[in-house]
């Protein structure tokens, strides 16, 4: 019998490095990455009714209503790939109502990763962030520059990545973070997110390796 797959949540302020660490985690652990923000941007790109509504909130840096977000995330968690490989939930839950909804649907994480980054660093990270529309990879003009001229030429910027909008997003984050954290206290691992991308990953990798060993150990004693 195989050990149960990992179920992980990752949280932190805007531009704290969630997406960047998720790339590294999925490469090594093969979990299904479910990012609430990415799912919403896909709805916007598809021009759906949910996407149109979501965009109004995202433009203001506010939380998109639960009616839209909760169902979207639940469907991805229920997918056969997430069930089989385990999941890595990024940017959800952002309120106690979202956390409670998840619990009611029977989804319980093993570990809650919190990326801690001082505020002054966050703004610089947001303003310099670029995305590769072809590979989906996250870059930063200074900290993670594109590998080739060809990639550099096609990089895009997110519509909410301005200094003004990140301040609104930060405000929303501060309003909600304590309520969410208090629900996951027992399984939270705090990570210093201001280190280099590799050093941040080393901290997360340690926690995940330990968790995996625990899960396999449990199996051995049955």
> What are the residues binding ligand AP5 (CB under 6 A)?
12, 14-20, 36-37, 40, 57-58, 61-64, 69, 91-92, 94, 98, 125, 128-129, 138-140, 143-144, 169, 196-197, 200
Task: For residue 94, indicate whether it is catalytic.
Answer: yes
- If one counts every other C-beta atom within 10 angstroms of the C-beta of residue 209, the result is 12
d(CA 217, CA 24) in angstroms, rounded, equals 25
Pick 144 or 212: Cβ nearer ligand AP5: 144
Task: For residue 76, indicate whether it is catalytic.
Answer: no
Task: For residue 129, indicate whether it is catalytic.
Answer: yes
Find the length of the chain. 222
CA 160 from centre of chain: 16
Q: Which one from 55, 74, 137, 158 is the annotated catalytic residue?
A: 158
For the bound state, the minimum distance from the C-beta of residue 158 to ligand AP5, rounded and expressed in Å, comes to 7
Pick 69 or 114: Cβ nearer ligand AP5: 69
d(CA 24, CA 44) in angstroms, rounded, equals 26
For the bound state, the minimum distance from the C-beta of residue 12 to ligand AP5, rounded and expressed in Å, comes to 6
d(CA 123, CA 162) in angstroms, rounded, equals 9
| Helix residue spans in 134-196 (DSSP H) | 149-154, 163-184
- Catalytically active residues are 18, 94, 129, 158, 169
């Amino acid at each position: 019998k195989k050990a149960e797959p990992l179920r992980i949540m990752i949280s932190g302020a805007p531009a704290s490095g969630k997406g960047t660490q998720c790339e590294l985690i999925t490469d090594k652990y093969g979990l299904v990455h479910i990012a609430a923000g990415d799912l919403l941007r896909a709805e916007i790109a598809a021009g759906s009714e949910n996407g149109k509504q979501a965009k109004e909130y995202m433009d203001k840096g506010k939380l998109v209503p639960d009616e839209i977000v909760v169902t979207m995330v639940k469907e991805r968690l229920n997918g056969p790939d997430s069930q089989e490989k385990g999941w890595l939930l990024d940017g959800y839950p952002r309120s106690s109502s979202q956390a409670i909804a998840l619990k009611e649907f029977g989804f319980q994480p093993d570990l809650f990763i919190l990326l801690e980054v001082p505020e002054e660093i966050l703004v610089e990270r947001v303003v310099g962030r670029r995305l590769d529309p072809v590979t989906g990879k996250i870059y930063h003009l200074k900290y993670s520059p594109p590998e080739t001229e060809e990639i550099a030429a096609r990089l895009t910027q997110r519509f909410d990545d301005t200094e003004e909008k990140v301040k609104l997003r930060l405000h929303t984050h501060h309003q909600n973070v304590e309520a969410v954290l208090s629900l996951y206290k027992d399984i939270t691992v705090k990570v210093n997110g201001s280190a280099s991308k590799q050093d941040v990953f080393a901290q997360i990798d340690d926690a995940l390796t330990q968790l995996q060993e625990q899960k396999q150990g449990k199996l051995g004693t049955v």
